[in-house]
């Protein structure tokens, strides 16, 4: 038997004030759209803001449905909107903020597995890493230089 070791690397910002000004603005948009999430069942709200290489910012919030799992996460809402409306644009940066209506979220909350796979698809498709910044309601912010830090063993079209 052999073993492999996979390592990931994240930058950690202790507050939004430490972020570069363009990312502060992007995260503020993620926080604002998070507050518009439709989350009557989970009471867990997520907002995502994408910066495209054409300068456009695309927003998404989670949208729940009583018929689980018919809802859609914020990250995929934003990514699919960008793909449909700006098919030639590349996603350069993504800011994600998550908060609970029932308790304060202070730890950085990363994308779920389904969102990671969707982000991976766009990263492969555009052949450009996507910087991903994620946080809870308050507290530190993690930055990943690529989705590959969040999903090191990716499944892509090369396996088909």
Q: What mean pLDDT value characterizes the chain?
A: 96
pTM score of the predicted model: 0.95
- The pLDDT, as a whole number, for residue 154 is 87
CA dist 86 and 63 (Å) reads 21
Residue 131 has pLDDT above 90, yes or no: yes
Residue 157 has pLDDT above 90, yes or no: no
Q: From the annotation, which residues make up the binding site for Zn(2+)?
A: 73, 112, 115
Q: Is 61 exposed, middle or buried (0-12, 13-18, 19+ CB in 10 A)?
A: buried
SS3 content of the chain, % helix, strand, coil (to 5): 30, 25, 45
Q: Which of 91-95, 126-130, 155-159 has the lowest mean pLDDT?
A: 155-159
Tokens read off for 135? 């946080």
Examine the residue annotation and report whether 14 is marked as an active-site residue of this protein: no
- Model confidence at 56, in pLDDT bands (50, 70, 90)? very high
Tokens read off for 142? 């993690």
Residue 80 has pLDDT above 90, yes or no: yes
Residue 156 has pLDDT above 90, yes or no: no
The residue annotated as part of the active site, out of 3, 14, 18, 75, is 75
- Structural domains of the chain, with CATH: 11-151 (3.40.140.10)
* Run of H or E residues at 30: helix 21-34
- The per-residue pLDDT for range 7-46, each reduced to its tens digit, is 999 999 999 999 999 999 999 999 999 999 999 999 999 9
Q: From the annotation, which residues make up the binding site for substrate?
A: 62-68
- The pLDDT, as a whole number, for residue 155 is 87
């Amino acid at each position: 038997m052999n073993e492999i070791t996979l390592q990931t690397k994240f930058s950690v910002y202790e507050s939004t004030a430490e972020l570069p000004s363009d990312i502060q603005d992007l995260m503020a948009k993620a926080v604002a759209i998070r507050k518009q999430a439709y989350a009557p069942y989970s009471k867990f709200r997520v907002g995502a803001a994408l910066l495209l290489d054409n300068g456009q910012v695309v927003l998404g919030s989670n949208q729940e449905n009583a018929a689980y799992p018919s809802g859609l996460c914020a990250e995929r809402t934003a990514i699919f909107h960008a793909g449909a409306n700006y098919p030639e644009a590349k996603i350069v940066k993504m800011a994600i903020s998550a908060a609970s209506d029932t308790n304060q979220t202070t730890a950085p909350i990363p994308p779920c597995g389904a969102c990671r796979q969707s982000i991976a698809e766009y990263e492969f498709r555009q052949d450009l890493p996507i910087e991903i910044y994620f946080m809870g309601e308050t507290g530190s912010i993690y930055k990943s230089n690529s989705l590959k830090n969040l999903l090191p063993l990716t499944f892509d079209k090369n396996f088909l």
